[in-house]
Amino acid sequence: MAGVLEVTSDRPHTDPSPARPGLPEGIVVMVTGATGFVGSHVVAGLTSGGIDVVAVSRNLEDQDNVVPTPPVRSVAGDLTDPGFVHELIGSTRPDIVLHLAAVTRPDRTEVAVAGSSGLGGYGGTLQATSNLVEALIATSPTTRLILLSSSAVYGQPASLPIDEQAEVRPVTAYGVSKAAQELVARRAHWAGALRVAVLRAFNLIGPGMPDNLLLGNVALQLIGGADGDHPMLEVGNLESRRDYLDVRDVAAALITVAAHPDPPDLANVASGHSWSGKEVVDKMVAIGGRAVEIRQTSARRQANDVLEQIGDARRLRCSTGWTPRFDIDRSLRDMLQTGTPPRDERSTCS
């Protein structure tokens, strides 16, 4: 599980000239999943602007509240524990919560225990979000909650590009967990109990990408696992097409929405383009400068693979001015230079 690390150091590479957050100094912003793939970039962006950041991540050995590490207050704890979450919100009273924590790869024990729930081991995502929403309503109802969701909620789209009016019909347990997470948060918004904005991010790439994801695994193999005279990359399905977006652009979108006085309550975060797995892997191999054999294996294929997704992010762009800054070649190059993180990305929510 991802624990609380020294959030103010050893971060993945970010844009050398990040934009200032645009939030007033002295405001308290809580980031859950702060040491994860997205969270580390969000924390880096926030601290560049003098923001009081409360960085929340899991650390089973130390769940004792806030340890002052200016400009970040690092908190270790289990968001699936309602008592911990209520104490956390009550003691920090954040003005804004960026809720990024989620289960991304449950272990076999979690799947066996929670399989009957229909969430396939991803139930921690829903529990953590429910606890957070309830604690905010009870203790800090003026706090704004910004939730990072996923294009996985759309499943196989009926048409392209996908805008926010598209039907939510996930085909994976992960997608179901994100859709359920959205409903828990948006119910509070619809009831007038909490101000909530949901951002649905399309497929993330970029520096610090964990190796349990396809391109993170390819990067790992290119950097250190494909040795010998004829190195080989083992991959899954390369025919499906995805809308790939740099993690730093997603971090910027979250911070932009946090700083905006009236953001949309639901918006896609997407590049508006799609690439096949083969196109992206070929790009990575070319950037890596190594001649490799690419072998597709059934072991790496995923069930219920969606054929293509392209996101329509006009709502976010028109309402806040956000636009992607990193093209795919820059993202892949930075990813290969940075390498894969030495941490378990299965879950940052509990």
pLDDT of residue 242: 96
pLDDT of residue 54: 95
Which three-class secondary structure state does DSSP give residue 42? Answer: helix
Q: Indicate the length of the chain as a whole number.
A: 350
- Each residue's pLDDT tens digit, 108-142: 544 444 444 557 789 999 999 999 999 999 999 99
Q: Of the candidates 164, 161, 132, which has an alpha carbon nearest to the alpha carbon of residue 145?
A: 132
3-class state of residue 279 by DSSP: helix
Mean residue pLDDT across the chain: 84
Range name among 12-21, 258-267, 339-348 with the lowest pLDDT average: 12-21
| Helical ranges in the chain per DSSP H | 37-47, 82-92, 108-114, 123-139, 173-190, 214-220, 247-259, 277-288, 314-320, 328-338
The most confident of the ranges 17-31, 52-66, 75-89, 208-222 is 75-89
For the chain, the farthest-separated pair of C-alpha atoms sits apart, in whole angstroms, at: 63
Identify the pLDDT of residue 10: 34
What was the pLDDT predicted at 69? 57
Least confident span in 62-66, 257-261, 303-307:
62-66
Over residues 261-268, mean pLDDT: 97
pLDDT in tens, 176-226: 999 999 999 999 999 999 999 999 999 999 999 988 788 888 888 788 754
Specify the amino acid at residue 340: T
pLDDT score, position 350? 37
Residue 259 · residue 20 · CB < 8 Å: no
Q: Which tops the pLDDT comparison, 303 or 36?
A: 36
What amino acid is encoded at 261 in this protein?
P
Domain limits, the chain: 28-208+245-273+305-325
Amino acid at 44: A
**Cα separation, 9 vs 5, whole angstroms:** 9
As beta bridge partners, residue 29 has: 53, 96
> Looking at residues 52-73, what average pLDDT do you find?
66
Per-position b or e across 313-323, b if 16+ CB within 10 A of its CB? bebbbeebebe
Helix (H, G, I), strand (E, B) or coil at 96: strand
Q: pTM of the predicted model, to two decimals?
A: 0.87
- Select from 3.30.70.260, 3.30.450.20, 3.40.50.720, 3.30.530.20 the CATH code of 28-208+245-273+305-325: 3.40.50.720
